[in-house]
Structure 1
Amino acid sequence: MSSTKFAKIHTMDIDESIEEQGQLSQENKKLILSLPREKGWRTPYIYLFQGFWCQPAEIQAITTFQKHFQAKESDVFVATVPKSGTTWLKALTYAIMNRQNHFISSKNHPLLSFNPHDLVPFIEYTVYGKHDTIPDLSKIHEPRLFGTHIPFDSLSNSIKGSNCKIVYICRNPFDTFISSWTFANKIKPPSLPTLNLEEAFEMYCNGLVGFGPFWNHMLGYWNESKERPKNVLFLKYEDMKEDLKFHLKKMAEFLDRPFTLEEESEGVIENIIKLCSFEKMKGLEINNTGTFGRNFENKFLFRKGEVGDWSNYLSPSMVEKLSKVIEEKLGGSDLNFRVK
């Protein structure tokens, strides 16, 4: 096939996805045409951009973000591997940062009326996700809270050069895979076939997943947390599930919002845990209706929230293969996971 014919077919593939993902600028179409691509999980294709895999609309949002975002020293970013506790961590971070303005036990607390993704908006889906426009962020109340799945190396230079705070969470790759696979099949457009478990697993092990390879994503923030522990807090989903009170105190201290002895005696930490619990959030009307970002339905954000659910899906050979991938990619980093 000639390069001209390939370019025409490639352009047609992009055009078919524009209706679902929003208009792409001519500059970004040209960029995307130059990138390696592979089959996507919930879009026809994902593209290798700055060393990680993502969708055309995400690439447009990220390039605009990189060019124009100016960090403030008081900014807080909730950064995550997709499907690793993002909604939960956003809720916890918002509750900690705003507990002086919104009493945790109040019946009017924003987390009872707004989805956490509305209160801590995604850089790539919400803030910069509107057709290559540059948002006016000057009037956002400080400290500004943002969320992102963008790998550390691809964050705006103004973030990496500032003293703003980044709270990062990841999850054991086994549970992350199952959560990603089930989520992708729920939100994919009807025009795409269901992604079967075996195919998705092979893609995942090869790093072909949104914002992956997952090992590079984790290592980017892990290494930065070692270099700048005052600026990057690295958390694991399983550790938080095991002792959330300890980790909330750790988060609050990192965010320069430590809990006072009075707050602890009054049960503020326990109230945050209850307010942001999986059961509480899943039962709220706001989290069972409406959408966020690029028309993702809120009801699909809450599945089980369990540790070890992967064992109900993966065969022994799959477990062996993914274990080898984890050892090969993360083995020399001191970053490890408990899987049960």
Structure 2
Amino acid sequence: MSTSSNLSPPPIPDDVEKLLNDLPKVRVWDAKDIYQWEGFWFPPAFVKSTITLRSRFQARDDDIFLASTIKTGTTWLKALSHSLSLHHAPPVDIYDASAPRLLHTHLPYVVLSNSIKNSASKIVYITRNTKDTLISMWQFFNSLYRPNQDPFPIEKAFDWFCSGVHQFGPFFEHVVEYWQESQKWPQKILFMKYEELKSDPKGQVSKIAEFLGRPFADENEVDAVLWRCSLGRLKNLEVNKSGNILNDVPNKSLFRKGEVGDWKNYLTPEMEEQINQICRIKLEHFGLFL
């Protein structure tokens, strides 16, 4: 069943650089330029690659897409989903192009290709408490752009976050898009909350397994996956203590505390109330509470 209109994919502009020059641009974290396109803010490379993806990417019915905005539990979801995708499956041949694919994106729903939306592929989306997302994002970019320096002013990061001006933001619209689609197509999109995964890992991981068509046979199998993918264990793996996932993103920067409620150590009561008010306006109207 289609989850979007069967429109032809948009053409690739002849001059993407000209497109970027015409888009609104903001310098964030005193380090990087991001561009507003299709209602969201992207690093320039993502504008270019997403235009190509929308026009050329062909999803398969057995594809699994993990989707999220940044700093909402993405790395943990990746580890869990990889373990689950191998559950009851034969050994994977990484050189077999026909093998099932597990893919991740930070892209908002609106810019996904029709191929993804209209296929029988599945999407697991994870989000997180708004205030914890802000603090995790702030800490993450401090580690990237201000190592061994004073942190970027939390007040300025707060203002950017609330106004939606940050990588893959606005956060609120990103979350709402996937939430609404998951309500319309629950067999297509599983919407998850980081806090529920933390408080009920067995129940939530079992839900992912059922959604992906790989249910557990017994509780021991659930325990094995949770042990293999525990945050403490992942953080202490050598591969996650060194090396880079991207040129300028050390693997170790993807792991911090992973705690719920850490925002209380950083935000003032006035900041808390302002974000709560935005959540009431932007999220609760749709029956979504974070």
TM-score by length of 1: 0.77
Change (3 A) 1:43 1:96: same
2:231 to 278, 298, 310: 278
Match of 1:212 in 2: 169
- Choose from 289, 296, 300 the match for 2:242: 289
- Within a 5 Å distance, the mapping from 1:77-92 to structure 2 comes to 77-92=65-80
Q: CA deviation at 1:248?
A: 1.0
Q: 2:260 aligns with which of 299, 307, 310?
A: 307
1:191-270 equivalence runs, <5 A:
195-260=152-217, 264-265=218-219, 267-270=220-223
> Could you say which residue in structure 2 is the equivalent of 1:71?
59
1-side partners of 2:121 and 2:169: how far apart?
A: 24
Deviation at 1:47, TM superposition (A): 0.8
Query: For the Cα contact (< 8 Å) 2:67–2:104, is it kept in 1?
Result: yes
Match of 2:277 in 1: 324
- In the alignment, the residues of structure 1 paired with residue 211 and residue 89 of structure 2 have an alpha-carbon distance, to the nearest angstrom, of 19
Aligned residue among 50, 74, 86 for 2:38: 50
Give the match for residue 138 of structure 2. 181
1:40, 1:28 → 2: CA distance?
22
For 2:283 and 2:74, locate their aligned partners in 1 and report how far apart those are by CA, in whole Å: 22
Structure 2 unpaired stretches of 5+: 1-12
SS of the residue 2:124 aligns to: strand
- Taking the aligned partners of 1:324 and 1:149, their CA distance within structure 2 comes to 25
1:292-323 Cα shifts (integer Å, max 9, x gaps)? 13431001111000000000000111101111
Structure 1 residue 29: Cα displacement:
1.5
Alpha-carbon contact 1:42-1:184 (below 8 Å) kept:
no
Please tell me whether the aligned partners of residues 187 and 296 of structure 1 are also in contact (alpha carbons under 8 angstroms): yes
Looking at structure 2, the residues matched to 28 and 200 of structure 1 have their Cα atoms a distance apart, in angstroms, of 29
> Equivalent pairs: percent with the same residue?
42
Q: What CA distance in whole angstroms lies between the structure 2 residues aligned with 1:189 and 1:33?
A: 28
CA contact (8 A) 2:41 2:169 kept: yes
1:226 and 1:322 map into 2 onto residues whose CA distance is: 24
| TM-score between both structures, scaled by the size of structure 2 | 0.90
Give the drift of 1:67: 1.5
Aligned residue for 2:15, secondary structure, equals: helix
State the Cα distance separating 1:69 from its structure 2 match.
0.5
1:93 counterpart = 2:46: no
Q: Give yes or no for contact 2:241–2:252 (8 Å, CA) kept in 1.
A: yes
Alpha-carbon separation, structure 2, partners of 1:205 and 1:230: 32
* Contact persistence 1:41–1:209 (CA under 8 A): no
Q: Shift in Å at residue 27 of structure 1?
A: 2.1
Q: Alignment partner for residue 166 of structure 1, among 102, 108, 123?
A: 123
Shift of 1:239: 0.6
Shift of 1:43: 3.7
| Corresponding residue SS for 1:336 | coil
Provide the C-alpha distance between the structure 2 equivalents of 1:29 and 1:43, rounded to a whole number of angstroms: 20
Q: In 2, distance between residues paired with 1:141 and 1:301?
A: 30
Let me know the Cα RMSD of the aligned residues. Answer: 2.2
Distance 1:301 1:43 in 2: 19
Q: Is the 8 A contact 1:287 1:299 kept in 2?
A: yes
Is contact 1:53–1:210 with CA below 8 Å preserved after alignment?
A: yes
Counterpart check, 1:157 vs 2:114: yes
The one of 21, 38, 41 aligned to 2:29: 41
Q: Measure, in 1, the Cα distance between the counterparts of 2:266 and 2:213.
A: 41
What is the CA–CA distance in structure 2 between the aligned matches of 1:250 and 1:219, rounded to whole Å? 21
Q: d(CA) in 1 for partners of 2:67 and 2:176? A: 13
User: Match for residue 133 of structure 1?
Assistant: none
Q: Which residue of 2 aligns with 1:124?
A: none
CA distance in 2, matches of 1:32, 1:193: 32
Quick check: 193-202 or 64-73, which moved more? Answer: 193-202
Distance in 2 separating the partners of 1:28 and 1:327:
38
SS of equivalent residue, structure 2 residue 26: strand
